[in-house]
């Protein structure tokens, strides 16, 4: 099935006919809106809506962007109601109630938007799987190898030796949470937030280095909220 050339500012009927020819499936206004196309109306200058026009502008395409206005169209309205749009400078503006009404045949769709939609439908891009963060040892802590991976490069101390010690680096259990039941007898889990503050307070690791670690290390992604909350409480 072929379709005629699409005008730059196409009517709803022209847009549906063209897309039907491209895709081989029927189209209507509701489907256009469902697929994210923005409808426009061509506005000529009038004193009533002078605030929509910048100096020297006498006409422009005003988008129908308010979700309740587009939902009204999709539901089968027999006219266009515009209560929120953009002016000729593309600044958002709310119209005085009850808004502007125009006939349904005043709707227009830009050729570039319609062509882009057709291309996306006919040549869908493969969906790339979301990157999977390395699994955490526990919701309570991370293992020794993970600690060394994220903090080992920013400390001057022998972090490996410190973690293997009898205490949690900072006295008592410190940042150490509990034994890791899935690893060897000398393996423990560590709370990275507590560990980071201890590294800063006791071992003078710069806070900027620790902030960068939490912002960039995938292993610490699930700890970012706790880290940021602790920073806020401490005024950092």
pLDDT at residue 136, as a whole number: 45
C-alpha distances (whole Å) from 21 to each of 27, 32, 53, 70, 207 are 10, 14, 37, 25, 60
Question: 82 preceded by cis ω (within 30°)?
Answer: no
Contact partners, residue 98, CB within 8 Å, separation at least 6 = 81, 83
Average pLDDT over residues 12-28: 95
pTM higher than 0.75: no
Average pLDDT over residues 38-66: 93
Angle at 88 between CA 87 and CA 89, to 5 degrees: 90
pLDDT at residue 139, as a whole number: 61
Do residues 188 and 180 make contact, with C-beta atoms less than 8 angstroms apart? Answer: yes
Note the pLDDT tens digit of each residue in 131-152.
554 444 446 788 888 888 888 8
Average pLDDT over residues 34-38: 93
C-alpha distances (whole Å) from 96 to each of 14, 48, 52, 219 are 32, 10, 12, 52
**Residue 46 pLDDT > 50:** yes
Note the pLDDT tens digit of each residue in 67-126.
899 999 999 999 999 999 999 998 888 898 899 999 999 999 999 999 999 999 998 887
User: Average model confidence (pLDDT) for the chain?
Assistant: 83
- Please tell me what DSSP assigns to residue 141: B
Q: How confident is the model at residue 178 (pLDDT cuts 50, 70, 90)?
A: low
- CA-nearest of 123, 126, 101, 121 to 37 is 121
pLDDT at residue 165, as a whole number: 65
Distance from chain centroid for Cα 194:
30
């Amino acid at each position: 099935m072929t379709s005629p050339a699409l005008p730059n500012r196409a009517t709803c009927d022209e847009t549906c006919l063209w897309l039907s020819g491209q895709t081989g499936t029927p189209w209507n206004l509701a489907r256009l809106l469902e697929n994210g196309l923005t409808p426009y109306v061509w506005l000529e200058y009038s004193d009533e809506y002078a605030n929509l026009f910048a100096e020297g502008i006498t006409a422009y395409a005003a988008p129908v962007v308010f979700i309740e206005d587009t939902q009204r169209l999709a539901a089968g309205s027999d006219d266009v109601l515009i209560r929120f749009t953009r002016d000729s400078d593309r600044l958002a503006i709310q119209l005085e109630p009850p808004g502007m009404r125009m006939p349904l045949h005043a709707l227009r769709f830009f050729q570039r938007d319609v062509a882009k939609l057709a291309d996306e439908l006919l040549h869908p891009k493969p969906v790339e799987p979301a990157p999977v963060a390395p699994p955490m040892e526990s919701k309570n802590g991370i293992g020794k190898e993970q600690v060394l991976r994220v903090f080992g490069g920013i400390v001057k101390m022998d972090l490996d030796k410190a973690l293997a010690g009898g205490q949690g680096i900072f006295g008592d259990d410190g940042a150490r949470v509990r034994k890791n039941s899935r690893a060897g007898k000398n393996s423990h889990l560590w709370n990275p937030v507590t560990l980071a503050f201890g590294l800063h307070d006791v071992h003078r690791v710069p806070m900027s280095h620790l902030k960068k670690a939490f912002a960039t290390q995938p292993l610490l992604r699930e700890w970012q909220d706790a880290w940021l909350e602790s920073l806020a409480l401490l005024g950092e």
